Structure 1
Amino acid sequence: CISKKWKKQCESIFYTLVPMNIVQTGESVTFKCALPSEFNDRDVYWYKQRPGDTLTLIVRVSLRQHKLTTHKFEPEIPDSRWEVNNDQKFNRLTLLKASSSDDGLYHCELSAWTGSIEWSGTYLMVTDNTVRISNNIVIQQLAVSNPVRSGDTADFQCSVLFDSEKMACSEDFSMFWFQAKSNNIYPNMIYTEGNKHHECEKKSDSEKSCMFNFSKVVSSSDSGIFYCAVSSCGKILFGNGTRLEIEYQILLINYNFFFLDIFMEITSFESIALVTTVSCLVFSLILNIVLICYRAPRAGHKRSHGKYYKTF
């Protein structure tokens, strides 16, 4: 990040869900920064962050009473490629013609005079159908059995085979993890490992295989597809995705299902004898309840029948 002042906020960026926007080369793309309903005078800072790099300031926007008063691009940013506009709900930054060099994470920082700061971000991926992204191979898998239960730790593995002879550059790589839930249109970035060194195994003079691992304590809302993505030479290569299924634990009042589940997990003779005894007791209790319910109406019928003859 750019300074110690924003260190805490910058560190939290990579642990929140970040939407992803995919466009073709030459297309326009608009980034939105939501404005609070209780609006006051604020400054909006737009940053770009390439994988493994620090934040680069694009433009500073001054807002007064929901109106855009001034905006100033950084000297190294060509303002002819960008547009800034504003309404009651959003501040918008538009990139007019996207290119492969525009790949990265775009941050919006809302800063108020009170000192409060709010962050949001969108990952931009620019693709080109006429250019092959990479000759690298990504193999993705789940390291634990599927489905898993809520509260368990799910371990994901991503193996990447690099071929130095076919790579377009000698740039190091970064690893990202995305999650696509059933109710979301785009996958969300949930973690980035940045520009780190990983354990790699040399396959040949030009090929090497690197293993990446990601662990997450899952909850019932984590069902979906998890993707690993490798960023190198200004491009991102996605894995095939791993579907994670969450097993829901439902308490069944039906004793047959209850004891069937126990028999599947218990194999010792003493435990089986105990379960058998308890099963017999439960069956006896249910049988007694049925007999009591069966006798009660007949007894009531006899009493009413006796009263009828006595009155007559």
Structure 2
Amino acid sequence: MKIIQDKENIRLTCSFLHPYVSAAAWFKHTPGEKALLIASAFSSTPQYHNDFDKSGRFIALREQSSFNLSISNAEPSDSATYYCAVADYSDTALLDCTVLVLKGSSSSLSAVLQPPVSDPVELGGDTTLQCSILTDTSAGEHSVYWFRHGSGESHPGIIYTHGNRSDECKKSSETDSPTQSCVYKLPKRNLSLSDAGTYYCAVLMCGEIIFGNGTKLDFVEKGVLEPVTLVLAASNIISIVMVVYLYRKSHSHHEGLVKPIIIQREDVEIQDAEMF
């Protein structure tokens, strides 16, 4: 995290040593809003997006082993999380993440971050969702809520609240930094299909509520087939066998009816030939 002053000039650096990096990009994420693409570069000339080039304060520079972003005359709206992403021929990765907080900004809540679930989740298994909050130490108490938005549901519903707690927070290691980091965890045990969905962490502070970007919880299929699946598979196999059996039986019965007719015609032809 970087504490910046009003009208300060900022330089964000994204370095990469991989020689096959084909594209690089900078993103800006303001708490409670979707991430915005600032600039991207496939070669030495960067391309700007979402009108970040209109003010002239955002300047991107692509070099051989880095993609840097400069912000001049910092404003309160520049308080956000900035991500640098790079891509090669087969993969994409985030290389840098910087949280900028303008000193004296009216907002005491600087960021609400929700990392994705690190390990694959299976039915009946366990996992832990995490929510990290970066806030001013002088901001006072805050409340944290968890919401779940399942498939087919119109609105997310609240499932858990941490209430007013400060024991989850640690002050920044920087000497003069007025910020603190608070980490909240939501354990999920013996997971079922009803637990699938997107989980949102929301923070209420000073009459303002800000949502995180959400953590999606999906399930991977187990290696062992469920009993219902086995029954359905067996039923399908039996049906196919019965259809094949009936088809063959019907076909052989049809051949049996046709064959005597052919023999009779042959006998008549033979008798007719003897008469001549």
TM-score by length of 2: 0.41
Larger radius of gyration: 2
TM-score by length of 1: 0.37
